[in-house]
Amino acid sequence: MTREEARVLLKNLNNQLTSAFYDGDFWVEEGTFEAFEVADAALRGPQPDPITGLVPCGCGGVAEELFDGFSFDGDGMECNDYLVKCKKCGMQTQVIQTWNEKARDIWNTAMGWKGGAE
């Protein structure tokens, strides 16, 4: 079973319990619904910040995208250099000779984001 399959199963169970609870047919221990929310977030994994598009660092710190100047690629073409760095622990990607979306994708992949599994 994948994490996403487990999420769907737990979400369906939570919906069934919620419905039964509010119909008065079932009693659940206090904190059960909050536990489902925590489990869902844990199984979902890191999510990108809606403004920067960057997932948090593994240390919990906020990542930032930095423009690192210009360089030239193997064909002599001028490139923008980007990197992503954690404000808390200093972990960073290598300098990427490309557009900033590529640096963001490399960071997010390294931090465990699978690219939008809902």
pTM of the model: 0.59
**Mean pLDDT to the nearest integer, 25-33:** 75
Confidence of residue 76 (pLDDT cuts 50, 70, 90): confident
- Residue 86 in domain: yes
80: helix, strand or coil = strand
Residue 117's pLDDT band, with cuts at 50, 70 and 90, is very low
**Cα(29)–Cα(93) distance, integer angstroms:** 45
The answer to whether 116 and 56 are in contact (CB under 8 A) is no
Look at residue 24 and tell me if it is in a domain: yes
Range of the domain at 74: 63-110
Q: Is 102 a domain residue?
A: yes
Total structural domains within the chain: 2
Residue 57 is assigned to a structural domain of this protein: no
**Residue 54 resides in a domain:** no
Contact 75, 9 (CB under 8 A): no
Q: Tell me: the pLDDT tens digits for 9-27? A: 888 888 888 877 777 766 7
Residue 1 makes CB contacts below 8 A (sequence gap 6+) with: 9
